[in-house]
Amino acid sequence: MTAFTEDGPVYLRLRGHIAAGILTGRFKAGDQLPSVRSLAAEHGANPLTVAKAYGSFQDDGYVEVRRGVGMFVLPGAADRLRQAERDSFVTGQWPRIREHIELLGLDAGDLLERERV
């Protein structure tokens, strides 16, 4: 899983949007997430697709469903999600990024300095 994907299936983009909200603190432990219908309307998505994204967070133990009330962020979700995202980045994305940097003859240190300017 990658939290900040701009490409790929709508379900993964929605998951990335929700993950970003949890990681940035927009959705804190105990906060209620937007309803499926609300998030679907906001992103022009099918409610079933939003439900799938929400279901994956429930399966991963980041949120809980309170029947008739909604979906809520569980305590510790941000820390666990951040660790999962770090692991995903280091094992999945970083090797491809590093390979691309090397292929182009770039220096990672120079790239980091460029960001600070």
Tens of pLDDT, residues 65-113:
999 999 999 999 999 999 999 999 999 999 999 999 999 999 988 888 8
DSSP 67: T
- Residues in CB range of 40: below 8 A, 6 or more apart: 46, 47, 49, 50
User: Where do we find the tokens 């600070």?
Assistant: 116
In a domain? residue 17: yes
Any idea what the CATH number is for the domain that residue 61 is in?
1.10.10.10
In a domain? residue 5: no
The total number of structural domains that make up the chain = 1
The pLDDT of residue 100:
92
User: Where do we find the tokens 């770039």?
Assistant: 106
Beta-bridge mates of residue 72: 32, 64
Tens of pLDDT, residues 1-60:
444 556 678 888 999 999 999 999 999 999 999 999 999 999 999 999 999 999 999 999
In a domain? residue 27: yes
What residues make up the domain containing 104? 10-116
Residue 13 CA: distances (Å) to CA of 62, 81, 99, 109? 17, 16, 25, 30
Closest alpha carbon to 50 in 8, 3, 9: 9
In a domain? residue 1: no
In a domain? residue 25: yes
The pLDDT of residue 8:
79
